Amino acid sequence: MKKIILPDGRELCYILVRKRVKNINFRAKEDGTVLVSASPKVSVKYIEKCLAERADFFFGAFEKLNKQKQVFEINTKSIRWLGKELPVKIIENLRETAVIDEDECRVFTKDNSAENVLRLIEKVKIERFKTVCAELNEKVRNALRSKGFEPPPAVITIKDMKSRWGSCSYTRGHISVNIRLAAYPRETVYSVFCHEYAHFWHHDHSKNFYRFLLELYPDYYKYNNVLKSG
Ligand SMILES: [Zn+2]
């Protein structure tokens, strides 16, 4: 790592990598250094002149990167689980695992970095959400039977989806549920199950589809509307 002293006394650290690039490339890094890749033809003197000229830009970028990091760290202090905000408690331990309880999420780990904590939480979330989905799947199937409809066999898959909460491939008998639903109340997740199951009988979003859906789950709108408002 090299260092230049700016006219106002500030220090700017950089790492120089010689590469077959056209001229010079700069990248501000989270640790407050600048990564410089430059062609072997470019002199160190010229590189340092460029760095000094762009110093204000780099210091601005370091600040921005640090703010993003802080947000990331704050986000591991609590999680949203089935409509509740649960505080995250980190317990130093040799086990690498997380547990979601009624009123808190406990993470057992030796490595309390935000990245590792989030990884452990995500893992337990998926496991727990699978159980929730299995229960809700039974619930909707029983509800359908009680209305006189025999549901076809269905394979439930939990996925991370960008633009939809659930989907139903009625020909193959596959229902996908978005893992992001784990943040919402159980009734909201159930509303998605009812919606997707209704597609086995009505493939579109016609009036008949909604009539069927509301008969299956009269509180559908009450709990599903939270998904539309974000
Ligand atoms: Zn639909």
**By residue range, what is the domain housing residue 45?**
2-73
Residue 42, class by beta-carbon neighbours within 10 Å (0-12 exposed, 13-18 middle, 19+ buried)? middle
Residues 224 and 132 in one domain: yes
For the full predicted model, state whether its pTM sits above 0.85.
Answer: no
Distance between CA atoms of 21 and 37, rounded to whole angstroms?
Answer: 7
Residues 107 and 140 in one domain: no
193 CA → ligand 1 middle, Å: 10
* Residue that finishes a domain, picked among 73, 97, 116: 73
Pairing of the two strands 174-178 and 155-159: parallel
- Please identify which residue in the block is written with the tokens 């317990």: 91
pLDDT in tens, the chain (230 residues): 999 999 889 999 999 999 988 889 999 998 899 999 999 999 999 999 999 999 999 999 998 888 777 666 656 789 999 999 999 999 988 899 999 999 999 999 998 888 899 999 999 999 999 999 999 999 999 999 999 999 999 999 999 998 899 999 999 999 999 999 999 999 999 999 999 999 999 999 999 999 999 999 999 999 999 997 54
79 CA → ligand 1 middle, Å: 28
210 CA → ligand 1 middle, Å: 10
Residues 46 and 103 in one domain: no
Q: Residue 218 maps to which CATH number?
A: 3.30.2010.10
Looking at the structure of the chain, the number of domains it has is 3
Distance between CA atoms of 105 and 85, rounded to whole angstroms?
Answer: 10
Residues 142 and 216 in one domain: yes
